[in-house]
Amino acid sequence: MFFWQFARKIRQILTLPLVIALALWYSVFSLSAAPLPRAQHQDQQQPPSPPPANSQQKPSETPPPEAGGPGNDVGPYAIPKKKEEPPPPPPPEKPKKIEGMPDYSIQVDVPLVNLDVLVTTKDGQFIPGLKKDNFRVLEDGVRQPISNFSQAEAPITAVLLVEFASTNYQFLYDALNASYTFANGLKKEDWVAVISYDMRPHILTDFTQDKRAVYGALNQLRIPGFSERNLFDSVYDTLDRLDRLEGRKYIILVSTGVDTFSKLNLDQILKKIKTTRNVTIFSVGIGRALVEYLEARGAMGPISSLTYLQAENQLSTFSRMTGGRAYFPRFQGELPEIFHDVASDIRNQYNLAYHPTNTKLDGTYRKLKVEIVGPDGSPLKVKDQKGKDVKIQVMARDGYTAKHTVE
């Protein structure tokens, strides 16, 4: 009995602190856990705060509106706003058209004449260092103002026109020697075409800068065909082809000068030479040694002698009219020096250009004359190393044919 009462008291004593401890733990837990739901609820209801001002923000990729760009300075484009511009001025009033008066338009065609001038001493030496003021150009006796002037070594654009007919072996030998000598002096910048002729012209090679092609063309000249030598027709055909090219052109004519069967006569070919611009003919005669040999032995009659004299005169005329030179070598050893002079003349010419004071396009032939003058207007005096006066030779074309406008 006593034992059970003692046990009940001990249980009461042990249970009271446990109950108190549980009550205290429950109260502390309630106080710490109760505000959490309210804080989360407040966070859900409160809107998010804006980012700080110094934080970087990715610019918008949308293009700005058409009227002046974005409203602030954030965006992919910065376009200033359009300013109000004043209205454009009104167009000028057109003049009132008078009834019965037709419309007119004025068009002026001012031609330009190009002239190549070669100035040498009596011995054929080129005279360098001349200025624009040292040249005086006269057209039909009227002085012309020079607008363009230059002097520079330029490449050659030439046609080697060779007579190759079944006439005499000495003529063929001289023609080939002269042609090969000319080809040996070419430079890599030069453009050359090779044409041979008998009854008609034969184009052996077109314009090329390859020396091997020029040699290959000359190597074809081995067996001649016809004995006729149509010089006038061949020169006319060559001039007609060169007239389609721009710039300065040259014809190296290797020929006896004899014409036997051409459709054209001398007057017609001279007229063609006058009307063709920017072409200079250098003539190299062949067969002169044989002709003099036969004349010395009385093997050539007066008619044959007169024929070859006239032939040389024709070659000289072709060259003189175009501002070139004519050579008639007697020996093979003269050829290298001749073609050296030809190349020097072509590469070291003075180039002049002027607008003629006579602006009429009437198709008339106008004579030209070039004079070399000093600073005071008197003829220029050139002295050699010994102080002696040297005679000056001026070579230029005799004239040109003005354009003809058909009304």
Between CA 271 and CA 264 the distance in angstroms is 11
Which of 66 and 280 is assigned the larger pLDDT?
Answer: 280
- Biggest CA pair distance of the chain: 193
In one-letter notation, the amino acid at residue 179 is S
Q: What pLDDT, on the 0 to 100 scale, is given for residue 280? A: 92
- Tally helices (H) and strands (E) across the chain: 9, 16
| Residue 190 structure tokens | 């030069």
Please say whether the beta carbons of 208 and 193 come within 8 A: yes
DSSP 146-191: EEEEEE-----EEEEEEE--SS-HHHHHHHHHHHHHHHHT--TT-E
| Residue 280 structure tokens | 């200079």
Q: Which of 73-82, 288-297, 352-361 has the lowest mean pLDDT?
A: 73-82
Between CA 58 and CA 55 the distance in angstroms is 10
DSSP 232-292: HHHHHHHHHHHTTS-S-EEEEEEE----SS-SS-HHHHHHHHHH--SEEEEEEE--HHHHH
Mean residue pLDDT of the chain comes to 80
* Contacts for 305-313: CB closer than 8 Å, 24+ residues apart: 307/258, 308/256, 308/257, 308/258, 310/257, 311/256, 311/257, 311/258, 311/259, 311/285, 312/257, 312/285, 312/288, 313/257
Between CA 57 and CA 348 the distance in angstroms is 75
Cβ atoms within 10 A of the Cβ of 242, count?
Answer: 19
Q: What pLDDT, on the 0 to 100 scale, is given for residue 153? A: 73
Per-residue pLDDT at 232 exceeds 70:
yes
Q: What pLDDT, on the 0 to 100 scale, is given for residue 43? A: 45
Chain CA centroid to CA 160, Å: 24
Per-residue pLDDT at 330 exceeds 80:
yes
For 38-53, how does the pLDDT look when each residue is reduced to its tens digit (9 = 90+)? 444 444 444 455 445 4
Domains along the sequence of the chain with CATH: 110-153+352-407 (no CATH), 154-347 (3.40.50.410)
| Residue 294 structure tokens | 């036969």
Residues 6+ positions from 354 with CB-CB distance below 8 Å: 112, 113, 115, 137, 144, 145, 146, 147, 148
Please say whether the beta carbons of 114 and 368 come within 8 A: no
Q: What is the percent of the chain where pLDDT is above 90?
A: 36
Pairing of strands 113-121, 392-395: antiparallel
Among 88, 64, 91, 92, residue whose Cα is nearest residue 78? 64
Q: Which of 53-67, 92-106, 226-240, 257-271 has the lowest mean pLDDT?
A: 53-67
Pairing of strands 279-285, 249-255: parallel
Residues 6+ positions from 300 with CB-CB distance below 8 Å: 291, 294
Please say whether the beta carbons of 291 and 255 come within 8 A: no
| Residue 9 structure tokens | 């008291």
Per-residue pLDDT at 12 exceeds 60:
no
Beta-bridge mates of residue 281: 251
Cβ atoms within 10 A of the Cβ of 97, count?
Answer: 8
Please say whether the beta carbons of 256 and 286 come within 8 A: yes
Q: What is the mean pLDDT of residues 232-256?
A: 92
Beta-bridge mates of residue 250: 158, 280
Per-residue pLDDT at 301 exceeds 50:
yes
DSSP helix/strand/coil, 32: helix
Between CA 69 and CA 223 the distance in angstroms is 87
Cβ atoms within 10 A of the Cβ of 249, count?
Answer: 22
